[in-house]
Structure 1
Amino acid sequence: MNESMLASFRERQKTAAEETVYETQCPFCSMQCKKKVIEEKSSGRYRYKTIGMDNPTTKGRLCVKGKNAYQHAIHPERITSPLIKENGDFRKASWEEALNVIQQNVNALQTEHGSDSVSVYGGGSLTNEEAYLLGKFARVGLGTKYIDYNGRFCMSSAASASMKTFGLDRGLTNRLEEIPETKCIILAGTNVAECQPTFVPYLEQAKENGAFLIVIDPRETDTTALADLHLKIKPGNDRQLAQLLEKMVIEEQLQDETFCEERTSGYTELVESLREISVEEVCEDIGLTVQDIHEAAVRFGSANTGMIFTARGVEQQTDGHESVRHFLNLLLLTGKIGKRACGYGAITGQANGQGGREHGQKADQLPGYRSIENKEDREYIAHVWGVKEQELPEKGISAYEMMERMEQGEIKGLFLIGSNPVISNPNANLVRRALSSLSFMAAAEMFMTESASYADVILPTTSYLEDEGTLTNMEGRVTLREASRKPVGETKHDWQIISEIAAVLGKEKYFNYRSPEEVFNELRLASKGGKADYYGITYERIRKESGVFWPCSSEETVGEPILFSRSFATEDGKARLFYNKPSLEIKESVNETYPLYMTTGRTMNHYLSGAQTQKSSRLLAREFESFVYVHPDTARSYGIRPGELTVISSERGETLLRCSYSKHIRKDTLFAPMHWGGEQNINNLIDGKLDPVCRMPGFKRAAVSVRPYQKNS
């Protein structure tokens, strides 16, 4: 090879693409799709592509969010060094300086006002390890009772209903792979075609096998397009509908008497309570026909196998707990649980919405789904953590109630990790006032979110491509998210951030970890013997078996994919049928001032508060602003044209949205997504009233008015 050829070869070597492959899983919904992100560097420029990987849950499928999720991880607006606020503006700082500011402020607040003056607010996208550590940090690092997380607004209705009914809450009581064998499926308040698209092929396979699909939703969606029967209900009336379905199943003698007598309690009382219900009156109230409800009851009751799935449409109500319990009644009455192709599924929203509520970042909870109010549970966890039982704080309050305490001045400090409450909480104006009222706030964040902007210190955290850990998907399968990308700038993992804050507060000996696997091994021990028992699950097993179902009590046992085949997790082994009279009505009703219902939800292209998906140019190009769906007849009656800005008002405030005509929504109902902040924050309109059992707000029903926007009005 002569000199010129050699020089040309060396030049080609320099410009040849360098390829790096990151094996990971999507950071968004609870399907937790496995994927490869391939990074190619050529001529100094980077290109990326995403390929789905085979796995037991999604078989290599990806949706548009999963394909583009890498874009926020490489976004130039990522926070890559600690920030400290001075005179209203943020400046870069060292980790040492930022941690010292945190130490000084927390010590000062707790010395003057007590341990409970500082609070912790987490998120359902944190790994199991980080959710576990956050709970430990609150109770041991700070000694505060005030900890909760944004999953309160996602899964609390389903979780509390499952615990009361079955004695155990795990997203699905059986496996997703059984759906194609199911003969009748009810989807209540879920639009999986947009929110969990990789779930949909299971439904399509079931329909190909002859399944009858019933979808309950106040609007027509891509999911209702799959349905054999669409129950287009008025928002907020799911409890009444479920009761009618129960009543009709019994009247048609489609209940499984043997199952009810042998495996449930409360059957006689339930039957008696349903006699008082007037079918015609309730149908008129909820906006459905007797014929459609009767068909749904008969179809489900007479099917050999059946499954019921609930999601936010049913659960994000001020009677969400009772609504889910009545759907669980329907499942129990027909004996469709504890066997193949039968069961219940709470369609988890967030990436780790399931695992995030199992290991201690809820106000009333300790790891393994233990109760912080149970002395035996407290003693066990205190032993694992190396503290005295009496040193553990008592039960706290729910996420929204913490905001109220901040506004009132009782809570003076906040650690915020993995959440954006200004967007995700109801009554957003109160939340803004609450965060403004704090004496000190620290946040761990990737971007300058609406909530992080209130912080005094922001600590830069890693993305999902960089942060390894376990997550529990919607079917209760514990998965391992590998993360081989080098952290950007001075970013650190959330588990490291929590540990370093604990260390400067003098609690280093309780938070001395070198890897997420070390944290997980402590979590395993802390969960041992609890309802959510992870003790038999290890990183090695997860890699070998492509995920492990909990409960799994030892490394020799197989996790339980089908729950309740022999008994329920209650003291006597029987499921509890729910027959109490409905709680006092605390839902908003339409009136002369606010004559329309507003319901909220998600879209295909964005996720939660949009902090990550709106950093994706491809996703933002698909949907760059919020909107409101209005039936054309309704819009015309208020003088609103398609594409026109509109003002939506409630008793709490206003939001400014662009009108989109839709014949697929009820004339008395508006729909808007929840992914935007500022003037487009739909939660400006939502009431702060809470479900009396699970403390869920009523996101899915608000009384509103609508008018055209006038610039000078």
Structure 2
Amino acid sequence: MNAAPSRTVRTTCPYCAVQCNFDLHLEGGLPVRATPTRECPVAHGTVCKKGLAALNDLRHPDRLTTPLLRRDGQLVPVGWPEALAYVRDALGPLVQSAPQRVGVFGSGSLTNEKTYLLGKFARVALRTPHIDYNGRYCMASASAALNRTFGLDRGLGFPLDDLPRSDLIVLVGANIAETLPPVMQYLKAARDRGGAVYAIDPRVTPTVKVAGRHLAPRPGTDGVLALGLLHLMKQWGKIRPTAPAHGLSDVLWHADDYPPARVAHECGVPESELIALARAYADARTPLILTGRGPEQHTHGTDTVQAWINLAFLTGHVGKQGGGFGTLTGQGNGQGGREHGQKNDQLPGARSLRDPRHRAQMAAHWNVPEHHLPQPGHSAQELLNACGESGEGGLDALIVLGSNPVVSAAGAGQVTENLRALKHLIVIDFLPSETAQLATLVLPGSMWCEEEGTTTNLEGRVQRRRRAMTAPGAAREDWRILCDLAHAVGRPHGFTYPTFRDLQNDFFLATRGAKADSGSRGGRVVQPGAAGALAA
């Protein structure tokens, strides 16, 4: 038998939300190297070390290639018929009698199509209200603030190519030199054109060193800093929103309580440095505020991000080319992952599960009675806290796809104990993660280059992921596994796709006409609206 010929497949990096393109070179059917392409519209020929090392896991010696079922305390290899028989016997009765006792936990690394299918699987096949994903720990605060202000969760409402047009970039809690390395070229381009870059971070990170200007507030005081800057903008006559701002007087009244002396004291920064930043922002023509996970991951993360949005909006910079506000998505498909139905309160296309009109639209598309669609259930941490609980709201079973909550969730020790207490923990993964090692059933899934699909990067740009190779052994593509599970629990309706293209067409139709529309030709990116709903 002749070996497979050498070939090259252009695809998309699986790591961060920049979603660089590169060429994957295969020999004998196996990838041997990845090379950047200058035709990439985002990174323009650069790929960071993580992207270039993406091939390493493809050769990982622990790659899962067969289902594993727990027997006598040990995970042992079994065939697919036996694995699916376990699902039938374990979940089938629960789905029929108590679907609210089953949960689903997804990931911001899934393709748009898998995100869609996972949400559909939870609500149509399982009929459970309890589905959420690890992105709840990532951008949920920023998402809520963006929705509250603009009515849309879009991390960046502009392309990265706009960044060099900014004459002041303020990075708040974002260490992009290590988390989104290809974006650094845009910061450097802004500096080369005479722009200034301020990094607001308690630590001296590699990004701080490149930025050149640094303000180091105490952890947890980012919101106070934003209010202090807004206080000075009001004092200096810089409040000039270009669109109606609901709640304007309340916001400005609240900012009155944050004069420079108080802000400097609470943030632990010299008052002179605070005023220098405020003056730079006030004098800039196109200042741009970019937030990262730093200001979001606090008890009042939504209000903190809201305060930075208010600063940009009320000074009239939102909507300017090179200016305004943006929040930097982190995970590979963090943007698409929170648009197409795996959030506990969301339906495909960024529709709301609480909206009767949206519920009716999706019920009609899925050909199910509207009352079969559950209302929103547990969010991510609530879902993990409910695992193994016997009372109302507790879970007996959990299905995990593409996530490792034992490592990534808050309170990892307690999460581990909760997962151990489950009657059934089904994990779909390609490596034996810490969560998979606790499972009662592990199903071998697909890696990034073993599947087709699309991802949505931090700009809202939808890009194609091409299949370059087949999954090894008995491993299956994740979308096929979800369909297998739907059949196993006795709910095959809507989960019989002859090919991936049929699934993708279903996804396109499901999002057509919605805020996050992938169904119209070329897709549709909705920009932030003209009015802002501010919160004090």
Same fold (TM over 0.5): yes
- Tell me the residue number matched to 2:535: 578
Q: Would the aligned equivalents of 1:22 and 1:485 in 2 still touch at CA under 8 Å?
A: no
**Structure 2 letter corresponding to 1:405:** A
Tell me the residue number matched to 2:106.
122
Instruction: Tell me which of 300, 303, 310 is aligned to 1:329.
Output: 310
Q: Which residue is equivalent to 2:423?
A: 439
**Is the contact made by 2:260 and 2:275 (CA closer than 8 Å) also made in structure 1?**
no
Q: Equivalent of 1:108, from 90, 93, 106?
A: 93
In 2, are the aligned partners of 1:131 and 1:356 still within 8 Å (CA)?
yes
String of CA shifts for 1:122-163, please: whole Å, max 9, x gaps: 000000000000000000010100000000000101110000
Distance (Å, rounded) in 1 between the aligned partners of 2:291 and 2:362? 32
Deviation sequence 1:187-240 (CA, Å, 0-9, x none): 110100011110100000000001111111111111001224211111111111
Does the 8 Å CA contact 1:129/1:516 hold for their aligned counterparts? no
Indicate which of 477, 485, 510 corresponds to 1:526.
510
Aligned match for 2:291, one of 297, 310, 326: 310
Structure 2 counterparts to residues 255-404 of structure 1, below 5 A: 255-256=239-240, 259=242, 262-404=243-385
Deviation at 1:18, TM superposition (A): 5.6
Shift of 1:22: 3.0
Aligned: 1:62 with 2:47: yes
Q: What is the Cα deviation at residue 111 of structure 1?
A: 4.8
CA contact (8 A) 1:476 1:549 kept: no
Runs of 5+ consecutive residues of structure 2 not aligned to the other structure: none
Residue type at the aligned position of 2:9: Y
Distance 2:485 2:76 in 1: 20
Structure 1 residue matching 2:514: 3-state secondary structure: coil
Corresponding residue number in structure 2 for 1:212 = 196
1:24 to 2:11 alignment: yes
Q: Where in structure 2 are the equivalents of 1:72-91 lying within 5 Å?
A: 72-91=57-76
- Taking the aligned partners of 1:175 and 1:298, their CA distance within structure 2 comes to 27
Give a deviation string over 1:56-81, Cα, whole Å, max 9, x none: 11112100010010110122210011
- Residue of 36, 42, 58 corresponding to 2:23: 36
| Aligned Cα root-mean-square deviation (Å) | 1.8
Secondary structure, aligned partner of 1:220: coil
1:372: how far off?
0.8
TM-score (norm 1): 0.72
Match of 1:147 among 110, 131, 137: 131
Matched position secondary structure for 1:344: strand
Distance 1:369 1:482 in 2: 25
1:338: how far off? 1.6
Larger Rg: 1
Contact 2:95 2:489 in 1 (8 A): no
Give the deviation of 1:451 after TM superposition: 0.5
Q: Kindly state the Cα deviation for residue 386 of structure 1 after the two structures are TM-superposed.
A: 0.4
Q: 1:450 aligns with which of 430, 434, 438?
A: 434
Counterpart code for 2:261: E
Q: Quick one: distance in 1 between partners of 2:88 and 2:224?
A: 52
**Distance across 1 between alignment mates of 2:468 and 2:80:** 23
Contact 2:166-2:322 within 8 A present in 1 as well? yes
Residues 306 and 535 in structure 2, CA contact (< 8 A), matched pair in contact too: yes
User: TM-score scaled by structure 2?
Assistant: 0.96
Q: In 1, Cα distance between the equivalents of 2:26 and 2:188?
A: 34
Q: Do the aligned partners of 1:414 and 1:442 also contact (CA within 8 Å) in 2?
A: yes
Query: Which whole-Å CA distance do the structure 2 matches of 1:220 and 1:491 have between them?
Result: 44
Letter in 1 for 2:246: S
Q: In the alignment, what sits opposite 2:116?
A: 132
Pairwise mapping of residues 308-707 of structure 1 onto structure 2 (< 5 A)? Answer: 308-409=289-390, 410-537=394-521, 541=522, 550-551=525-526, 563-564=527-528, 568=529, 573-579=530-536
**Deviation at residue 397 of structure 1 after TM alignment:** 1.6
Q: In structure 1, which of residues 184, 187, 197 is the aligned counterpart of residue 181 of structure 2?
A: 197
Cα–Cα, structure 1 residues 48 and 235, in superposed 2: closer, same or farther, change >3 Å?
Answer: same
Question: 1:303 & 1:442 partners in 2: Cα distance?
Answer: 53
Distance in 2 separating the partners of 1:474 and 1:291: 35
Offset at residue 278 of structure 1 (A):
4.0
> Looking at both structures, which has the greater relative contact order when contacts are Cα pairs under 8 Å and sequence separation is at least 6?
2
Question: How far 1:283 moved relative to its partner?
Answer: 1.5
The CA deviation at 1:431 is 0.2
Structure 1 147/174 Cα, relative in aligned 2: closer, same or farther at 3 Å?
A: same
Q: Number of aligned pairs?
A: 531
**Rounded Cα–Cα distance in structure 1 between residues aligned with 2:513 and 2:174:** 33
| 1:22–1:36 Cα contact (<8 Å) kept | yes
Q: Which residue of 2 aligns with 1:174?
A: 158
Look up the SS of the partner of 2:40 in the other structure: coil
Q: In 2, are the aligned partners of 1:124 and 1:353 still within 8 Å (CA)? A: yes
Q: Distance in 2 between matches of 1:284 and 1:242?
A: 14
Output the CA distance in 1 between the equivalents of 2:93 and 2:56: 40
Match of 1:92 among 74, 77, 94: 77
How has the CA–CA distance of structure 1 residues 384 and 444 changed in structure 2, closer, same or farther, with 3 Å as cutoff? same
Q: CA deviation at 1:25?
A: 1.4
Q: Structure 1 stretches of 5 or more lacking a match? A: 1-13, 542-547, 552-562, 580-713
